Amino acid sequence: MENDICVIPATGGTARNLTADWSLDPNDPSWSADGKTIYFSAETSGNVHLFAVAAAGGPARQVTTGERQLRGFTLSSDGRSLAYTASDITHGTELYVTALAPAHGTERRLTMFNDSLFKQVTLIPADTFWFTGVGGLKIEGWLMKPFGYQPGKRYPLVLSIHGGPHSNYGNVLFPEFQMLAGQGYWMLFTNPRGSTGYGHAFTYATRGRWGMEDYQDLMQAVDLAIARAKGGVDTTRMAVLGGSYGGFMTNWIVGHTNRFRVAQTDRSIFNWYSWYGSSDAQGLTEYEFRGAPWESDSLYRVLSPMAYATNMHTPMLIVHSEDDKRVPITDAEQLFMSLRKRGVPAEFVRYPRSFHGLSRTGPPWLLVDRLERIRTWFAHWIGTGDAAPAVTTSGH
């Protein structure tokens, strides 16, 4: 399941693995003009950077730096310059160029697409923190303060969980986080075990154990965020949301704890059996759960959030795309039915003509509609900032 960069003579022969001893996953390899170097990108912690390795062999070296994510690397025909896009938590994506030879030079920004917009809004930075999870794994997280934060006041907190699980959050502008922090929420996001960018052992630590130690990582991150806020989190007004694997984990969390007052689940898995029979990605669970359902029945059962449906009491906003082939909408339908049958407050939003990537690459009007539904759902149940929610008791 790991990526490596290999070279083989054009006339045939034995392939040589140039990154066999490298712990990260290289992507998008490109030859240098002189054929002596191979450049590639890789996720490293919460960043994405350009790396290089000699075609003759040797250690990989990092070419670009900074707490940010760089993508779309393109080398000039003479190999002396490099172009790429870059973004960090408070800066939108722009195009940059820098010299590679004779030495790595000063970066120049070529576009200003977002300047006029960002002069009209406040973008909120994030504080990075690390902690030691179960088994000694080092976990990275980020915490954004609520807009208008005042010491001595308490604000609700939102935990966001990324998809994958072999993906990550990091140092890139994420409008959803800015929107929620702007509404007066502490915004917590983290890369629990299973995330990419921290080495192969970290990435595949969840194999056969989804919802186990990764769940503990997330709960530990919440505890640490509360401690870092020094009394600034109203622990009676916390929310959890996520999509894809993050949606699975949101469903899992509300089936295992009542510490969150409200939840929002996106393109989520509820029943691994039905998911396997209708998804376009059966290979994921065949690897992660060590076989098909009839070969690994116990894992498919025990790791299905449906197995814990009777423990789910958290009001839930369910969002799903009708044309999602990765996580078909039948899982959302089953989740909605199970909640409504048991009297748990739930709202089900179905988006037509939309796919698995709706929250990131869908039609703009649907992106706005989705964010507005999340905003109003959370405001109803946990309020905004230091303002009280519409529902002031634990009753439904």
The terminus-to-terminus CA distance of the chain in angstroms comes to 45
Return the residue matching tokens 């450049």.
39
| Catalytic annotation present for 244 | yes
Instruction: Round to whole Å and give the CA distance between 283 and 38.
Output: 30
Q: Which of 160, 274, 356, 359 is catalytic?
A: 356
116 catalytic residue (yes or no): no
Contact 26/3 with Cβ under 8 angstroms? yes
CA angle 29, 34, 37 (to 5 degrees): 40
Q: Find out whether 307 and 211 touch, Cβ atoms under 8 Å.
A: no
Task: From the candidates 87, 244, 279, 321, give the one annotated as an active-site residue.
Answer: 244
Catalytic site residues?
244, 356
